[in-house]
Amino acid sequence: MSQSAKQGYYELVEPRTLFNSIIPVLLGIMYTWYNYRTFRIAPLIEMVIATIVLQIFMNVNDGYWDYKREKAAKTGDHKKNPIGMYDLSPSHVKWLAIVLFAISAICAFLIGYQTNYWIWIIGIICYAIAIGYSTGDHTISSGPFGELAAEFAMGLGIMLVMVYINVYPNVPFTWSFVGPIILAAGIPEICNYTLLLGNNLCDYKADIANGRHTLVFYIGIKGGLYLFIFNYVLGYALTIWAVLIRVMPWSVLLILFCIPLLVKNMRFLWKIQNKRTSFPKVVQNTQALFIAESVGFLIGIIFNLH
């Protein structure tokens, strides 16, 4: 494989995005240890592989279908896609996506086989979202429910499954089990929601021109910005609630130190919405929140060992 092709596949895989799937996995592991002091090594490893490979599949699949749509539209934008830019074989990229999906799905099947039907249900929903997110002409990401799909699959779904596969069969899948995890997953939930919302805010005009009717199309730029702020407030409220009911340590409130950065970046986003300068601010917010909460959780676990 040529150096050019390697660079093209590297850009298709988008390793930077793995951060957004690895952190919910890590938080799920820490939540499990903090509350239950238990692990099941085999399903844990399978879940890590399934999650990371599924994220790579989504990136490759998204690049493939973007290339197909752009080439069919004859806009010339397909030359900016890694497939067109580096002259990659579309059929090879398609088969790479299929293989990645198969690997992830096999791991997910093993996880479901080792637990029960609740994992099957959550898994089917999450994999349906993964396929429908970018595949075809009418995708989830181009409609008004893309943010909710990302919030459920990448925010709550990963963390919920990670916890349950480690405590099964000793803990029943009831509301008393699920409810606290919904609260504890507040930051991953809102971060995945705001990442897509921020992307759609920055692509507002381009999306309308391309016939994409995202949530921002219905509520407008100003509505999207207000929703952005509401989500941050909601994420903080859910996390504080989780701390108060003692399913997360007080140290996760390190996220409070992120507030000045969030305010600064939101002021920038409020004035300017574009992909080059504004969207990196959204990514920066997500990374800061994820790192602060992860470090805080780890500190709480360390102190709780004594």
pLDDT tens digits for 80-98?
Answer: 688 888 888 999 999 999 9
Confidence bin at 58 (pLDDT 50/70/90): very high
Strands (E), 205-268: none
Q: Is the pLDDT confidence value at 230 over 50?
A: yes
pLDDT tens digits for 196-228?
Answer: 999 899 989 888 877 789 999 999 999 999 999
Structure tokens at 171: 């803990």
pLDDT tens digits for 245-273?
Answer: 999 999 999 999 999 999 999 999 999 99
Could you give the percent of the chain with pLDDT greater than 70? 96
CA atoms within 13 A on the CB side of 279: 13
Q: Is the pLDDT confidence value at 153 over 80?
A: yes
Buried b (16+ CB within 10 A) or exposed e, 153-177: bbbbbbbbbbbbbbbbeebebeeeb
Q: Is the peptide bond before 260 cis (omega within 30 degrees of 0)?
A: no
| Nearest to 163, CA basis, from 188, 130, 190 | 188
Confidence bin at 30 (pLDDT 50/70/90): very high
Q: Is the pLDDT confidence value at 239 over 70?
A: yes
How far apart are the C-alpha atoms of 40 and 82, rounded to whole Å? Answer: 39
| Nearest to 182, CA basis, from 156, 150, 158, 148 | 156
pLDDT for the residue numbered 293:
97
Backbone angles phi, psi at 39, to 5 degrees: -140, 150
Contacts with 288 (C-beta within 8 Å, 6 or more apart), sequence order:
258, 261, 262
How far apart are the C-alpha atoms of 3 and 104, rounded to whole Å? Answer: 27
- Average pLDDT, rounded, for the chain: 91
Work out the average pLDDT over 2-13: 85
Buried b (16+ CB within 10 A) or exposed e, 58-92: bbbbbbbbbbbbbbeeeeebbeebbbbebebeeee
How far apart are the C-alpha atoms of 186 and 192, rounded to whole Å? Answer: 10
Work out the average pLDDT over 134-141: 88
Our CA dihedral for 217, 223, 225, 227, rounded to 10 degrees, sits at -100
pLDDT for the residue numbered 4:
79
**Residue the block writes with tokens 């929140």:** 289
User: Residues 46, 111: contact at Cβ < 8 Å?
Assistant: yes
Radius of gyration of the chain (CA): 20
Confidence bin at 131 (pLDDT 50/70/90): very high
Residue type, 125: I
Confidence bin at 122 (pLDDT 50/70/90): very high
- Of the chain, the end-to-end C-alpha distance in Å amounts to 53
For residue 24, the Cα-to-chain-centroid distance in whole angstroms is 8
Specify the DSSP class assigned to residue 154.
Answer: I
pLDDT for the residue numbered 79:
63
Backbone angles phi, psi at 169, to 5 degrees: -100, 15
pLDDT for the residue numbered 306:
47
pLDDT tens digits for 66-80?
Answer: 888 877 766 655 566
User: Residues 195, 283: contact at Cβ < 8 Å?
Assistant: yes
| Nearest to 294, CA basis, from 222, 281, 302 | 302
